[in-house]
Amino acid sequence: MKRSRSPSPVVALQPVPGSPHKAKKLKIHTSYVVQSPFPDFAHPTAAEALQVYDVLVEAHPGHRAVRRPPTMTSNSACTCGNVPNVVEALIGVILSQNTSGRNSAAAKTSLDAAFGRNNFAAIASAPRADVVEAIRHGGLANKKAATIQNILASIKENHGDYSLQHLAQTDVDKRLSDDVIMQELISYDGVGPKTASCVLLFCLGRDSFAVDTHVFRLSKVLGWVPDKADRVLAQAHLDRRIPGELKYGLHVLMMQHGRTCKGCKKSGSVETCVLKTYLKGRRAQAQGAGRQG
């Protein structure tokens, strides 16, 4: 199944002087817009992705992966950026990194209480120590505060305001492609492909496949990525292989399964896991077909 793409307006990205990390991110992204970094690795097929989706839907009926439109009542740090304001979504995903949903939600609530919700000018101009204190609940507060303030400064410098709502345009003549949006987001220091993909998926309603720790681990278990793949290359590969209509659902379900299943968290676990059962069934089926052949 081929991934559908909206037409891409011609957008010239400005070079980023003195920032080899940014240049590397952009180079990796542009290298794999059309082709996987592992073009000869034929998994997952569309059928395999659908089979795993069905297995996980049955295993986690309370988390049926129905796309929910962004809402102002969401806490962007515990909903992967499921809010309509793009900058708020970006900040929420940053706050959610390397911590629990409970802690990141508390950090976002505290940030809003300290500066006002979406008062990005106040956050950008505040003493760093004040931002650190506001988000301390979420862990890595010093690093995240610096990232947030630096991103806000870059957005203001690039666009004259603390806004990225041009990325949310829905008019046919103004709508940007997924690839152009991804390039804009990862051009900011501290924003990697996974963070950008979450903004695309949950805030902008695009079909992007974000690969976090849980999704990456389960992709390895399923044999969906080569052993040598890191998370960045795994995301580039899976975004090419997984059908667009399954990306949201599979991300949500794999996240839920990865968080809760004891049977696939550690190698050699004796606990049951529906994915292990699924894989065992596939192997038995393949062996049976081999004997018949």
Q: Name the active-site residue from 25, 108, 194, 247.
A: 194
Q: Which residues contact 16 (CB under 8 A, 6 or more apart)?
A: 22, 23, 26, 187
- H or E element that contains 200: none
- Residues 90 and 236: their CA atoms lie apart, in Å, by 20
- Residues 171 and 169: their CA atoms lie apart, in Å, by 6
Identity (one letter) of the amino acid at 142?
A: N
Active site residue 194: yes
For residue 179, give both structure tokens: 């690839």
- Residues 187 and 26: their CA atoms lie apart, in Å, by 7
Query: How many Å separate Cα 119 from the centre of its chain?
Result: 24
- Residues 92 and 95: their CA atoms lie apart, in Å, by 5
Q: What is the CA radius of gyration of the chain?
A: 20
- Residues 162 and 100: their CA atoms lie apart, in Å, by 27
For residue 272, give both structure tokens: 């049951």
For 141-263, list the strands marked E by DSSP: none
SS3 186: helix
SS3 176: coil
Q: Are 214 and 255 in contact (CB under 8 A)?
A: yes
Active site residues: 194
